[in-house]
Amino acid sequence: MSKIAFKNPKGNTIYWTKLGFDWGAFWGALLLAGLPFFLRRMNTFGAYFLGLALIDTIGACLENLSKEPSGFIYSMIALDLGLALYFGIRGGKLTARHYLEEGYEFHTKDKDLIVLAKNKWDLNT
């Protein structure tokens, strides 16, 4: 997998994102309660997944209290897997757009890789 670097022009902060399936976003959405999104400074997505993890946990606890099983757990598993797959596939693009909106610039030396990333992520910068 190819990695693209983004550098903050006002400082020396460099963040990396992958060109391809984003395993960090996949596992962050599925099991890590949004932690990778907080580390990428994408706090809104991190808060959404932290809230979803809390809803999953509370729902599982309430599900254990009832004598009759309901479809809540299965629907939450399907929702979690669907969101994890979506963010795994689109995670690199969302991360790149976030960094560019925050003022970061491409910092990768390979210009062909930057062109490939811009075409794949539909970036017009």
Checking if the pLDDT of 5 tops 70, the result is: yes
How many alpha carbons fall within 13 Å on the CB side of residue 105? 8
Summary mean pLDDT of the chain: 88
Q: How far is CA 17 from the centre of its chain?
A: 11
Tens of pLDDT, residue by residue over 45-64, are 999 999 999 998 898 888 87
How many alpha carbons fall within 13 Å on the CB side of residue 98? 18
Checking if the pLDDT of 68 tops 80, the result is: no
| All structural domains of the chain with their residue ranges | 2-121
- Cα–Cα nearest to 116, from 92, 86, 84: 92
User: What is the reported pTM?
Assistant: 0.82
Tens of pLDDT, residue by residue over 30-42, are 888 999 999 989 9
